[in-house]
Amino acid sequence: MTDRTVLVTGATGQQGGATARALLAAGWRVRALVRDPGAPAAGRLAEAGAELVPGDMGDRDSLAEAARGAHGVFSVQPAAGPPHGVEEEVRLGVNVADAAHAAGVRHLVYASVGGADRDSGISHWNTKWEIEQHIRALGLPATILRPVMFMENHARPHYGVTGDAALVRVIPPRATVQLIAVTDIGAFAALAFADPDRYVGRALELAGDELSRADLVAAISRATGRPVDVEPIPAERRAALGLGAGDMEAVDSFGGWRADIPALRALHPGLMDFETWLEREGKAQFDALFARA
């Protein structure tokens, strides 16, 4: 067993990348599972100090090799959706859990989704609940992180405020939404690995802020100096865009996300609210988004 070494899956993605950076900053050795070591995102990880390990979550042999001797594993999969179906997300999550179990790792941290433990009726949330159940069935020492809506999603080309599938246009007008910065997901993963006595066996719903749609839109407009379109997207257009037409209505109807933000901030005092994220990271992302529009 190699103490202080964590295998990070999805290392070139949002959550995996944030976790790799947080672990490196905390003095951990990071093995970054990457399909293409020559990709720019992989190169940035290597420059930051990560060891690049070629592999794929769909390849059980490469996972077994990558996990061998690691202290911990951070597991995150691409969300179900084109080109990956729900079965594929579950298969990949099961593969990672099985590899961690076979390698005898001391701690698995799995990135699920807020509300996975409730009957949401949302297929790409149910997949994560299936993976959670498999982890428990294996008896792995594990921490489950259940992040809510990413703050960064509002600055992405497809789902961001300038996109045809803008999330602010499908949030019900009177609903409130909880939000989390991806950087803070990585911070909680690093906290969990550093303090297994506190975090093993726990499931944490993660959020840094809770805002009405109006407050969310106003904050973005203040930061960017630009108006934000909140005209509802017709149901038939949502389906064509692959939005999963009723997802936000489902969130609203089953009670929304339920992260205990004050308790989370006690664990991680640097937890960002939306305004802080805009100042530190978000404004630059929105400026780039508007520049492409």
pLDDT, tens digit, for every residue of 152-175?
999 999 889 998 888 898 888 888
Q: How high is the pLDDT of residue 247?
A: 62
Please give the pLDDT value at position 249: 59
Domain membership of residue 187 (yes or no) is yes
Report pLDDT for 22: 99
As a whole number of angstroms, the distance between CA 155 and CA 220 comes to 10
- Those residues with Cβ within 8 angstroms of residue 95's Cβ, 6 or more apart along the chain or in another chain: 57, 58, 60, 63
Question: C-alpha distances in angstroms, 18 versus 82, 133, 234, 273?
Answer: 24, 25, 35, 17
Q: Is residue 117 part of a domain?
A: yes
User: Virtual CA dihedral for 258, 263, 269, 271, nearest 10 degrees?
Assistant: 0
Q: Does residue 77 form part of some domain?
A: yes
- Could you report how far apart the first and last alpha carbons of the chain are, in Å? 49
Claim: this prediction has a pTM higher than 0.75: yes
Strand partners, 205: 146
Q: Are 169 and 249 in contact (CB under 8 A)?
A: no
Residue 116: predicted pLDDT: 92
- What is the predicted pLDDT for the residue at 2? 61
Residue-number span of the structural domain to which 57 is assigned:
2-148+182-207+258-271
> Looking at the domain assignment, is residue 107 inside a domain?
yes
* Residue 227: inside a domain: no
pLDDT at 275: 98
Q: Answer yes or no: is 105 within a domain.
A: yes
Residue 133, in any domain of the structure: yes
For residue 216, give the H/E element and its range. helix 213-224
Does residue 56 sit within a domain? yes
| CATH number of the domain residue 143 falls in | 3.40.50.720
Instruction: Quote the CA–CA distance of 186 and 183 in Å, as a whole number.
Output: 5
Domain count, the chain: 1
- For residue 245, the model assigns a pLDDT of 46
- Name the β-bridge partners of 176: 212
Segments of the chain with pLDDT less than 70: 1-2, 80-83, 239-255
- 12-55: per-residue pLDDT in tens? 999 999 999 999 999 999 999 999 999 999 999 999 999 999 99
Sheet containing 107-111: order of strands: 51-54, 29-34, 2-8, 70-75, 107-111, 142-147, 203-206
Instruction: Give me the pLDDT at residue 132, please.
Output: 98
